[in-house]
Structure 1
Amino acid sequence: MFDRLLFSKIDNAPLLIFRVFFGILIALESFGAIATGWVNETLILPRFTFNFIGFDWLQPLPGNGMYFYFLVMGTFGVFIALGYKYRFSIIGFTLLWLGVYLMQKSSYNNHYYLLFLISFLMCFFPANTGLSIAAKQNPSLRTNTMFAYVKWIIVAQLFLVYTYASIAKLYGDWLDFGIIDILMQQRKDYPLIGPVLQLSWVHKIIGVSGIVFDALIIPALLWKPTRKFAFIISIFFHLLNSIIFQIGIFPYLALAFTVFFFEPETIRRIFLKGKQGYPANNCEAPHNKSLILLGCGIYLMIQALLPIRHHFIKDDVLWTEEGHRLSWRMMLRSRTGKIQFKVVNKADGAAYMVKLKDHLSKKQLRKIAAYPDFIWQFSQYLKKEQKKKGNSVSVYAVNSKVSINGKPYKAFIDPKVDLANETWDHFGHHEWILPSNFGNKSK
């Protein structure tokens, strides 16, 4: 039964159509990042970037190099959509996107992480065996079949994303709609819908529907009797998200995923009229079956475990942020902070307060006081800058306070700890983050 589920030969129309949509969307994401000024603001203007810790060596290209970087990614997207040099293009895009994802966190977004994961999976899929330049140039490549595991690993990935997103919302500030009040307040100046978004009953609808949609959308798309209704709801939900939260291509990528839930003949009838499908459903184990099972098993195990790692870290993830990223904890909190950095020369005890504006961009200034990894990284940066001048220094975060979801500011970082002398633990707690006193850990 397990073999039939994963290794049946099924029609590949959904994969071919998804490849086209995916290529178009990542091209728009890449070219749009240049056009909107995102590349300039995030990767060119800052003196340094807050990269993922451990990837300090991964820095933006000098000068206008990042514009060319994104132009190449956009070109890869076009090639992917056309099915031209597919394997080279998808691997190239995946590596470049991973690079830009890891070299900055000032614009961290869960959807950027999902885009990398899907790009990574697409590197292994036979997505160019039809509706592609490659298949026209090489007819022997053309086929209308794929193994069913291609579909099911996408479905499993989406199930994990939405399920964890739903579970993460089951905490106080979402359930009492407090965080939604804050998020909507930030959008009060939107034309036409701004005033509507301030209504309390609208907040209740958004809060409840967010939990229910995330929990049920994948099962509803899988079950044929509810599939069309779920698809209509998906269109409304994701387009509304696009308008309200302006989160780039993700709502449209989410809609593109729905091709994997409909019958292949439906997809062919809509997008590939006149193209012959594959009516059979034969089980045919590939020669590398064991390797496929091992790879898929390891991948899905990692995806299942990463989002729960914060339960094994001391204190509340809502306060410490330890274990927040890569966990599908989306739209859950609003953080603001206040902070000063004191640098003390170890040789003579001379001290000075750092002028943050001399080192950080406007976007970075909005992050630096509220996130512990940013605070630690900036301390390391100050240490390195002084080392270049021949000085050995200590760095302290003083007057550090954080407000979460509009609540009163509370002391955040221990002002007596020399952060320049601290190491970073990716899977543990940092004692220089003061206790939250929330009472219960956020689930």
Structure 2
Amino acid sequence: MARPGLHSRQVFIAASPTAWLRPLVQHLIQHLFTPIDIASLVYFRIAFGAIMLWEIWRYFSKGWISRYWIDPVMNFTYYGFDWVTPLPGPGMYILLAGLGILALAIMVGWHYRLSALLFFLGFTYSFLLEQARYLNHFYLICLISFLMIWLPAHRAFSVDARRRPEIAAQAASAWTLWLLRAQLGLVYFYAGVAKLNPDWFAGEPLRTWLAARTDFPVIGHLFTTEWMVYLLSYGGLLLDLGATPFLLWRRTRPVAFGCVVLFHLMNVRLFSIGIFPWFMIAATALFFPPSFPRQLLAHLRGWLGLDSVQAGRPPNRRQMSRVAPIRMKRSAILAGLGLYLGWQLLFPLRHFLYPGNVNWTYEGHQYSWHMKLLSKRTEVEFWVFHPDSQTAWTVTPEDYLARWQARKIGSRPDLIVQFSHFLAAAAERSGYPGVEVRARVMQSLNGRSPQLLVDPSVDLAAEQRTLAPKPWLQPLMEISPSELQS
């Protein structure tokens, strides 16, 4: 005869792992598709387009198009993208002008979907042209511009909504806003995780940088004091790690946003990092309630699709019932969200697959949100040897490269290999086929004494570009925090 008590307990144990999880997942899915005010998406579309337009203007006004893509003798490509090369003739000027027009189109919501797609393709193409110019905020713009393609940010306060009233909507599914928040949250979080290293705990490289910025308004004279070095070092660490949770909590959100704004404004004055601080300030405002931009846009109501909404108030229930339509099924949206966010969660961790200190070897450093962690000084010299004629000569990066390229090559192994291949090809064109190329690369990391980065006995011309660990990289000889401070 069966024992009901035991049977019931077995059923409970078997079902319990999923019994509590299933309603949680269902609640999450329901929340992701709950209608929210579309105002935040509209605000971000305008801010994104305006900042990108400003960035494109900077390229023209500062002569960067010629400097970065036309004048250099060679461009350093990304692995797998050797086929991506600059456009000939005036092509790069035409491309950047087109990107400026597309940024303006995104800002005003004119043919928004097509404009976002073309901007993503064009900006990503320009990003892939030169690895020596890798910056985290360029990568972030590529990601955000890709996400913008899928967001219905043109359904209100846009030329599209005015021209085609049938697409106008005052609400969007919540996942559209949470996707942007998640992307920004991951940037802050991984920037904080990257600071969990002995150098940052010891105050480097911030100590070195602050010592050269004593002209900073009001508090600059304190930058050489140890307590200020540690205050800013640990303050930056805590801000990056705590920004997202404190921005999500309503009670701490205003203070957290104020700290984020202050942090980025200090970075504007301390470092030359372009549009990144301004972009992050604008984007971080997305953590406020979805209706917050309506008060900012109250004086413009009624022109591009917000005329039926009273200034400063969110849409009413009837307006919220009309959500911006999405042609994909929920399952497809959830799969896309899972794949994208899973990639963004895991990809920044790939540097743990490489041996050694990522800040030293640079393997896995890119795309990981490691920002403003390194102060490096390098001395680089290449030796070219032709075995048949027993001819040898030395080359410095400045002999061929632009100054901004030469500053990067000594700290990035993939660039070292690419330049070695370039030297071998140049020697062959000059009548010296089959040369060997070796390098002496001395690197100083965050105030340490210079150390050898590359095995000088390795023929780098024979090394293939690969994503695998490079056995010819020399390990970093660690020193104690006290030695680092001294």
Match of residue 430 from structure 1: 470
TM-superposition CA deviations, 1:199-249 (whole Å, max 9, x none): 433322221111111111111111111112222222222112112113111
Q: Does 1:169 align with 2:195?
A: yes
Which residue is equivalent to 2:461?
A: 420
Cα contact 1:7–1:147 (8 A) shared by 2: yes
Tell me the residue number matched to 2:384: 343
Q: Secondary structure at the match of 1:265?
A: coil
Aligned equivalent of 1:65: 91
Q: What's the offset of the Cα at 1:382?
A: 1.3
Between the aligned partners of 1:408 and 1:90, the Cα distance in structure 2 is 47
The residue number in structure 2 matching 1:12 is 38
Query: How big is the shift at 1:91?
Result: 1.1
Task: Give secondary structure in 1 for the equivalent of 2:438.
Answer: strand
Offset, 1:435: 2.1
Q: Displacement, 1:3?
A: 1.7
Choose the corresponding residue for 1:278, options 304, 312, 315.
Answer: 315
Q: 161-170 vs 380-389, which deviates more?
A: 380-389
Report deviation, 1:282.
Answer: 7.0
Take 1:60 and 1:197, find their aligned partners in 2: how far apart are those partners? 43
Q: What SS class does the counterpart of residue 120 from structure 1 fall into?
A: helix
- Equivalent residue in structure 2 for 1:238, among 236, 239, 264: 264
> 2:24: which partner in 1?
none
What is aligned with 1:357?
398
Counterpart-to-counterpart distance in 2, 1:316 and 1:103: 27
Please tell me whether Structure 1 or Structure 2 has the larger radius of gyration of its CA atoms. 2
Report deviation, 1:140: 0.7
Q: After superposing the two structures, state which structure 1 stretch, 44-53 or 9-18, moved more.
A: 44-53
Distance (Å, rounded) in 1 between the aligned partners of 2:207 and 2:356 = 26
Partner amino acid for 1:335? Answer: K
Displacement after TM superposition at 1:279 (Å): 4.3
Return the alpha-carbon distance in structure 2 between the equivalents of residues 87 and 361 of structure 1: 38
By relative contact order (CA 8 Å, sep 6+), the higher-ranking structure is 1
Distance 1:136 1:336 in 2: 55
Cα deviation, residue 197, structure 1: 3.7
Which residue of structure 1 lines up, in the alignment, with residue 208 of structure 2? 182
Q: Is 2:158 aligned against 1:132?
A: yes
1:115 has 2:141 as partner:
yes
SS state at 2:435 partner: strand
Contact 1:339 1:398 in 2 (8 A): yes
Contiguous gaps of at least 5 residues in structure 2? 1-26, 481-486
Q: CA RMSD in A?
A: 2.3
Contact 2:424 2:437 in 1 (8 A): no
Percent of aligned pairs with the same amino acid: 35
Q: Which amino acid aligns with 2:478?
A: F
Q: Distance in 2 between matches of 1:44 and 1:198?
A: 42
Alpha-carbon offset, residue 189 of structure 1: 6.1
What CA distance in whole angstroms lies between the structure 2 residues aligned with 1:42 and 1:184?
A: 29
Deviation at 1:16, TM superposition (A): 0.5
Cα deviations across residues 334-375 of structure 1 (Å, max 9, x unaligned)? 112112111222433322212433311111121222221111
Structure 1 Cα separation of the partners of residues 411 and 191 of structure 2:
22
Answer whether contact 2:384 2:436 (CA < 8 A) is retained: yes
SS at match of 1:352: strand
Q: Cα gap change, 1:325/1:89 in structure 2, threshold over 3 Å: closer, same or farther? A: same
TM normalised by structure 2 equals 0.85
8 Å contact from structure 1 (residues 386, 392) kept in 2: yes
CA distance in 1, matches of 2:139, 2:200: 23
Q: Do structure 1's residue 25 and structure 2's residue 25 form an aligned pair?
A: no
Distance change in 2, residues 1:231/1:189 (3 Å): closer
Which residue type is aligned with residue 73 of structure 1? L
Letter in 2 for 1:269: Q
* SS of 1:402 mapped into structure 2: strand
- Closer, same or farther: CA 359–190 of 1 in aligned 2, 3 Å: farther
* 1:22 shift after superposition: 0.5
Report SS of the residue matched to 2:140. Answer: helix
1:405 is the counterpart of 2:446? yes
1:3 maps to what in 2?
29
Look up the SS of the partner of 1:393 in the other structure: coil
Aligned partner of 1:53 in structure 2 is 79
